Structure formats: C-alpha cells, structure tokens
C-alpha cells in the first residue's frame, strides 16, 4: 500500500501559496530497501529570497488577525492530520525508516501539538501590573517577531516541524521552512494540509534544499529575524555565530549523551524495558536516545544478563512490517559513523557483549542496518561514553554509589535527558535536583517527552530556549510594555513619585 502513496506526486517548493517547480532534483532513498521514494528539489538562495519576500508581506496581515482566529487554522490542521494519520505514518516510515509504531506516535505528537498550540490562541497571556504613579495603567503583551526561519532534521521530520511552526504561526509570524533533504515528504504533506486548512498565502513557505544553499541563505537573510534549528552541534554553533553577528534571535536544540542510571534497588525488569526502548527505538537515532547506562556495580552482571536475553528478541528490518522493532540507519554515512565508534570502543578497552556489525545479508542486504550493540565495563572518560554516536549502541558504565552515578551523568558536554531507576524516594528527589539535564525521568527511559512540557537541554545541547510547552512561544514573540497615562498631565516615572 505505502509504495503507491506518492506515485503520482512531484515534490515542489511551496511559496506564497503556490507550488513552484525547481529544476535540480535528487533522490530520496528508503533506508530500509535502497529504493527511490521520490525526488526532492535542490533550491538555491533566490528561492529563499522569493519565500522571504512572500512571508514578509503575508506576516503584516496575519499579525492583524486576532489570535483566536489564527488558532482556528491550527484546529483544522490538527483535524486533517488526525484523519490522515495512517497515511502520514506510512509515508514517514518510507522516507525515514523508523518502525510504523513509532511513526504513528510521531504523527500523533504533531496532532497533539496542533491542538495544544491552537489553545494558546486564547491564552497568549501578558501581564497587568500596578503602575507607580496615580492614574496610570501598565501592562505587557506578546508580539510577533516577523518572519521566522525553521530548519528541521530527518529523525523526527513532522514532530519537530510542528514544535516550531505551530507556535510561530499562532503567535502571528510567517514561516520559511527548510526540511531535511533526506525526509522531505512530511514537509510536502504538511504544506498541503496548511493549504487545505485555509492558512493565508505566504504565512508558511517550504523551500527544499541543502543546508549549504538554503540554510545558509536563511541564516544570512536580513528579513528573517529568528532561526529555530534542530541538528548537529557543529552546524548549530555556526548558525549561532552568524546570528549573533546580526543580532538575530536563534533557538538551538542539538546533541545529547543521555544516561539511564540503574541503582542497586532498581526493578531490573522495568529498567531493561526502559533501556531497550531508549537505546534502540528509532535505531538510536534520537537526540534523547540512551547511549550510556550508569549501573551500580552490585547489579551490573544481572542487568547485563537480562539485557542480552531481551536484545536477542529484537526484530530488525523494514519498519512497515508490524512485527519489526528496530528499523534501519538513515544512510551509509550514518553506518560509517557507527562503525567508527565501535572500533573506538574496542580500542579504548570496553568489552563488547553483543552486536557491533553492519547487517548486510538476506533481508538486510539492500538497506542500511546495524546490529543493536552493547558494550560493558566502559569508563566515564571513554569517547564512547562522551560523544554522541547516533546509532543503536549503548555502553554500561559501572559505579559504586548514587553520588558517583550523578557525577558520571553530569560529566559530559551535553545535558538533554537523564533517567534513574530506583525505589528510594530520597534518591528520586536528589536526582531530579542534581541531574544537570533539561529533562529527567524517574523509573522510565530517557525518551518520551510530552508536548505540553518544555523540551530542550543544558550545556552543549542548546542555548537555553525550549521547543514545545508554553515556553515555545518565547522564541517566536517579543515582549512589549505598554503604559497608559490618564492623569491629563505629564508624569515622570521614578521622579514624580510622592
């Protein structure tokens, strides 16, 4: 069924409500079987200029639409996504490779975000506050920034796009969006949904292409006042530097080196479930993936044994098969990076208990598959314990105490997500206080964020902004203070105070 979904479709840029052909195209490959799914346009800076011009014009009128009316469009978007959930899910699996169960969850996240942010159309609260002078009124309010640029990754091609575009739209901004070239279909489908939902022309514009062409043009464009980016640390730092020179707002969500802490009193069966889901879901290609297990030495061997038993049960293959639990790696470059880290781990002296190889035989021969991998006896300073691998690789780091576990967890460049399995309520409260990450889970894995809470991290994971939750509005709005003096005379703050 899925392979017929796009047969008659041709991907085009969506600019000012029109579908625009681009001459240069490149193939989008299904990582599960090596087949071409569709061709994606490779746009240039002129396409970005056209999109920004359309967005700038549309934004002025869109900002004048009352926020509750802007929200009605998002309600319609959410309902259309709900109706098309299965179709979107299958297309997502075709271009990205993640298993269909996860794809459905990702589409649901976009649906949830549509309804949540639509609700903000009636809640976009400012503040009223007492003025220090008589017969004077003071308040603050959120205002749109203008034209915003969003740059989204391939691993969550619709969820992250909704995290960024929906709060931008309901706040009264216009959007220029560059999706990842590996996964353009979700952007194409979402643009069609925006169109069908009645979003005015130019409020959302989709420009397909490479980061070196489209992304750079967006970052350097004078009329784009916000860049919201999710991706690699190297690219994020470059974007931050360029935006800083232009005094442009920038929101970054980048890497993670997330850990599950398993204490000596943990429910080991529950911990194993959490580790498997966090480490091998999405084939480890999540910024929230668990790539470290910090385990108390008293339960290390028992945890290893149970992990190995359950890892043997993992089914690996094409994500459209409902029985599959682990899908492919996005491309050959991803495979090569994982292979490099496997060798690094061996050279550093970690002991490999399972996996560690490319799966390229039988049903796996035409796709990009890597066997789920488990290292043990890793130390906190090893590269496999410090650097993001972005694949189905997890390392066990033994510790002697709760305090050492917290120290090891925090001793990395990143600070996105962390988890602790324990039955001790005192440890729970100390952990949620002391773990230096933007997200903390207790007796659950490192992944599974909900859209009404802020998503983001500390340290090298980002620059302090958050996707999702009401906090997402902060990226796409400016605060305006308003003073209304009805005294009939000039009153000077801080001077004419009696």
| Count of other CB atoms within 10 angstroms of residue 225 | 20
d(CA 178, CA 228): 11
Catalytic residue check, 478 = no
d(CA 414, CA 402): 20
User: Residue 484 belongs to what H/E stretch?
Assistant: strand 477-485
pLDDT, tens digit, 9 for 90 and up, residues 305-317: 999 999 999 999 9
User: Residue 69 belongs to what H/E stretch?
Assistant: helix 67-83
d(CA 216, CA 198): 30
Which residue is catalytic, options 243, 287, 290, 304? 287
Q: How many helices and strands in the chain, by DSSP H and E?
A: 15, 23
Helix ranges, 198-349 (H): 216-219, 233-245, 268-280, 300-311, 332-348
Length of the chain: 498
User: Residue 115 belongs to what H/E stretch?
Assistant: helix 100-119
pLDDT, tens digit, 9 for 90 and up, residues 240-263: 999 999 999 999 999 999 999 999
Q: What share of the chain is helix, strand, coil (3-state, %, to 5)?
A: 40, 25, 35
pLDDT tens by residue, the chain, 498 residues: 445 566 557 999 999 999 999 999 999 999 999 999 999 999 999 999 999 999 999 999 999 999 999 999 999 999 999 999 999 999 999 999 999 999 999 999 999 999 999 999 999 999 999 999 999 999 999 999 999 999 999 999 999 999 999 999 999 999 999 999 999 999 999 999 999 999 999 999 999 999 999 999 999 999 999 999 999 999 999 999 999 999 999 999 999 999 999 999 999 999 999 999 999 999 999 999 999 999 999 999 999 999 999 999 999 999 999 999 999 999 999 999 999 999 999 999 999 999 999 999 999 999 999 999 999 999 999 999 999 999 999 999 999 999 999 999 999 999 999 999 999 999 999 999 999 999 999 999 999 999 999 999 999 999 999 999 999 999 999 999 999 999 999 999 999 987
**Could you tell me the two tokens for 66?**
């009352």
d(CA 322, CA 349): 38
User: Residue 39 belongs to what H/E stretch?
Assistant: strand 36-41
CA 115 to chain centre: 18
**Could you tell me the two tokens for 432?**
């949620």
User: Residue 109 belongs to what H/E stretch?
Assistant: helix 100-119
Catalytic residue check, 287 = yes
Which residue is catalytic, options 120, 253, 304, 388? 253
Q: What is the pTM of this model?
A: 0.96
**Could you tell me the two tokens for 232?**
């690699």
| Count of other CB atoms within 10 angstroms of residue 135 | 12
Residue 489, by phi and psi: left (phi above 0), alpha (psi -120 to 50) or beta? beta
Q: Give the pLDDT of residue 5.
A: 61
The DSSP output letter for 179 is -
d(CA 479, CA 145): 10
Decide: helix, strand or coil at residue 467: strand
Decide: helix, strand or coil at residue 100: helix
Residue 334 CB partners (closer than 8 Å, separation 6+): 285, 368, 390, 391
Q: Give the pLDDT of residue 463.
A: 94
Strands 249-253 and 224-230: parallel
Measured CA to CA in angstroms, residue 262 lies from 111, 147, 435, 445 at distances of: 34, 46, 14, 11
Burial class (CB in 10 A: 0-12, 13-18, 19+), 229: buried
Q: Give the pLDDT of residue 497.
A: 82
Q: Give the pLDDT of residue 1.
A: 45
Q: Give the pLDDT of residue 129.
A: 96
Query: Which residue, chain included where needed, has tokens 């297309």?
Result: 91
Measured CA to CA in angstroms, residue 44 lies from 50, 176, 214 at distances of: 10, 14, 6
HSE of 126 in the Cβ direction (CA atoms, 13 Å)?
15
Q: What is the CA radius of gyration of the chain?
A: 24
Q: What are phi and psi of 196, to 5 degrees?
A: -65, -30
């Amino acid at each position: 069924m899925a392979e017929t979904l796009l047969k008659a479709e041709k991907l085009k840029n969506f600019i000012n409500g029109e579908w625009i052909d681009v001459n240069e195209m490149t193939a989008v490959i299904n990582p599960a079987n090596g087949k071409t799914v569709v061709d994606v346009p490779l746009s240039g800076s002129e396409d970005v200029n056209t999109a920004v011009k359309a967005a700038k014009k549309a934004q002025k009128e869109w900002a004048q639409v009352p926020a509750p009316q802007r929200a009605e469009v998002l309600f319609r978007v959410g309902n259309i996504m709900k109706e098309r959930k299965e179709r979107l899910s299958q297309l997502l699996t075709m271009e990205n490779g993640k298993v269909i169960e996860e794809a459905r969850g990702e589409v649901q996240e976009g649906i949830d975000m549509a309804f949540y942010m639509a609700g903000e159309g009636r809640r976009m609260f400012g503040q009223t506050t007492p003025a220090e002078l008589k017969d004077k009124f003071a308040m603050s309010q959120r205002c749109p920034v203008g034209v915003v640029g969003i740059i989204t990754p391939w691993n969550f091609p619709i969820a992250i796009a909704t995290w960024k575009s929906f709060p931008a739209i309901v706040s009264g901004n216009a959007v220029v969006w560059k999706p990842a070239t590996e996964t353009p279909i979700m952007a194409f489908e979402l643009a069609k949904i925006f169109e069908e939902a009645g979003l005015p022309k130019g409020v959302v514009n989709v420009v397909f292409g490479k980061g070196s062409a489209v992304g750079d043009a967006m970052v350097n464009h004078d009329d784009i006042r916000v860049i919201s980016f999710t991706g690699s640390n190297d690219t994020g730092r470059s974007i931050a530097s360029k935006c800083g020179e232009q005094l442009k707002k920038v929101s970054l969500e980048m890497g993670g080196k997330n850990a599950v802490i398993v204490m000596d009193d943990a429910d080991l069966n529950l911990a194993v479930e959490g580790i498997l889901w966090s480490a091998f879901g999405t084939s480890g290609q999540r910024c929230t993936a668990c790539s470290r297990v910090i385990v108390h030495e008293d339960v290390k061997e028992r945890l290893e044994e149970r992990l190995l038993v359950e890892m043997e049960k993992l089914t690996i293959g094409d994500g459209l098969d409902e029985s599959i639990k682990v899908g492919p790696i996005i491309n050959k470059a991803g495979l090569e990076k994982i292979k490099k880290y496997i060798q690094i781990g061996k050279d550093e002296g970690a002991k490999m208990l399972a996996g560690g190889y490319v799966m390229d035989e039988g049903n796996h021969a035409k796709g990009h598959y890597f066997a789920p991998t488990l290292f043990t006896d890793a130390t906190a300073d090893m590269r496999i314990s410090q650097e993001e691998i972005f694949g189905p690789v997890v390392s066990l780091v033994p510790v002697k105490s709760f305090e050492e576990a917290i120290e090891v967890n925090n001793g990395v460049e990143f600070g996105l997500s962390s988890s602790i399995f324990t039955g001790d309520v005192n440890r729970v409260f100390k952990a949620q206080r002391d773990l230096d990450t933007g997200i903390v889970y207790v007796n659950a894995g490192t992944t599974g964020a909900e859209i009404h809470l802020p998503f983001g991290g500390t340290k090298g994971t980002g620059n302090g902004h958050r996707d999702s939750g009401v906090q997402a509005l902060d990226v796409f709005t400016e605060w305006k203070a308003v003073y209304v003096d009805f005294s009939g005379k000039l009153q000077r703050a801080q001077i004419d105070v009696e």
